[in-house]
């Protein structure tokens, strides 16, 4: 069994109010704690991935704010208090200051995170 808190989870990416903390738990599962300031648009960060979208699935819960998710199936707005599943092929945009926690397959998530870090660097 494994567990973690936001404060115990290492920062993987930060800047301009954006904060991403990630930690592998349970072998092939990674938990992510995300803070996206209002106006954060991840379109440029995921450019170059297949379909220019995140291809990693995520299951999670929106703790705070409103988030617009662009996907192959259209746009959906998620609000504070909602649990979610985001399948492969999505790009988030923070409509307000947003915080969420999600769970993702480690290998797939690391590919996306490495790509985003390379684009930011």
In which band, very low, low, confident or very high, does the pLDDT at 26 lie, cut at 50, 70 and 90? confident
Residue 99 has a pLDDT of: 98
Range of the domain at 24: 11-116
Extract the tokens encoding 87: 């399948």
Query: Looking at the 3D structure of the chain, how many domains does it have?
Result: 1
100 belongs to a structural domain = yes
Q: Is the pLDDT of residue 1 over 70?
A: no
Closest CA to 24 of 109, 97, 85, 84: 109
Q: Is the pLDDT of residue 95 over 90?
A: yes
Q: Report the CATH number at residue 47.
A: 2.60.120.10
Query: pLDDT tens for residues 12-21?
Result: 999 889 999 9
97 belongs to a structural domain = yes
- β-strands 83-86, 18-25 pairing: unpaired
């Amino acid at each position: 069994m494994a567990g973690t808190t936001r404060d115990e989870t290492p920062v993987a990416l930060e800047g301009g109010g954006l904060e991403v903390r990630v930690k592998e738990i349970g072998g092939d599962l990674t938990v992510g704690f995300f803070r996206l300031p209002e106006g954060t648009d991840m379109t440029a960060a995921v450019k170059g991935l297949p379909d220019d979208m995140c291809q990693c699935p995520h299951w999670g819960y929106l703790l705070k704010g409103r988030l617009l998710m662009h996907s192959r199936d259209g746009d959906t707005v998620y609000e504070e208090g909602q649990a979610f599943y985001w399948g492969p092929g999505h790009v988030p945009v923070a409509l307000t200051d947003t915080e969420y926690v999600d769970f993702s397959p480690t290998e797939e998530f690391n590919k996306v995170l490495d790509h985003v870090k390379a684009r930011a660097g």
